[in-house]
Amino acid sequence: MLKTLLSSAALITLLCGPALANTPAKPATPLTPLKFKVVVTDGSELRTFEITLLADTCGSLEDRAGDRFDEIKLCPRDSASGVRLGAMWKLRSKTVEHSVSFESVIAKGKNVEVGREKGARLTVTMI
């Protein structure tokens, strides 16, 4: 009799307790695309690109014309202070090989510029 009573109490507790397996999942936060304008200044020549990425992903651009080759990689990540941007840029031609890698914090409407003072430069703007 006691065994039946304890079994019934355990069964009622299990049936009336919280359904752990059916806990509703938190809704996924919508992924917001991040758009960047990339400008390479090489002497009097300007090369402009646009790329849209999701946070915590990477994207790359490659551009070849004649003997000149640009390779650009951007990796934005969300952070408490804005968007943390990792970037790599390589410029190659017959006479020049230029390579830059950096991380910076960027906000919408702001830009980061790297390169030689009077030479090839890369400007990344978050638009």
Residue 2 in domain? no
pLDDT of residue 91: 97
In the sheet with 111-115, reading across from the earlier edge strand, the strands are 45-54, 33-42, 121-126, 111-115
Number of domains in the chain: 1
Nearest Cα neighbor of 75 from 107, 49, 103 is: 103
Segments forming the whole domain that contains residue 96: 34-126
pLDDT for the residue numbered 118: 87
Reading the block at residue 115, the tokens are 């390169």
Predicted TM-score (pTM) of this structure: 0.75
* Residue 21 domain-assigned (yes or no): no
Q: What is the mean pLDDT of residues 65-77?
A: 97
Q: Is residue 13 included in any domain, yes or no?
A: no
For residue range 6-58, what is the model confidence (pLDDT) as tens digits?
A: 566 665 665 666 655 566 666 666 788 999 999 999 988 999 999 999 999 99
Residue 12 lies in a domain: no
The total of other beta-carbon atoms located within 10 Å of residue 121's CB is 18
- The answer as to whether 38 is a domain residue is yes
pLDDT at 126: 98
Q: Would residue 55 count as lying in a domain?
A: yes
Inter-residue contact 75 to 86 (CB < 8 Å): yes
Q: Residue 94 domain-assigned? A: yes
How do 111-115 and 59-65 pair as beta strands?
unpaired
Closest of 96, 38, 39, 48 to residue 69, by C-alpha: 96
List the beta bridge partners of residue 58.
none
* pLDDT, tens only, 90-119: 999 998 899 999 999 999 999 999 999 888
Under 8 Å between Cβ of 89 and 110:
no
Least Cα distance to 72 among 55, 44, 53, 56 occurs for: 53
Asked if residue 5 belongs to a domain, the reply is no
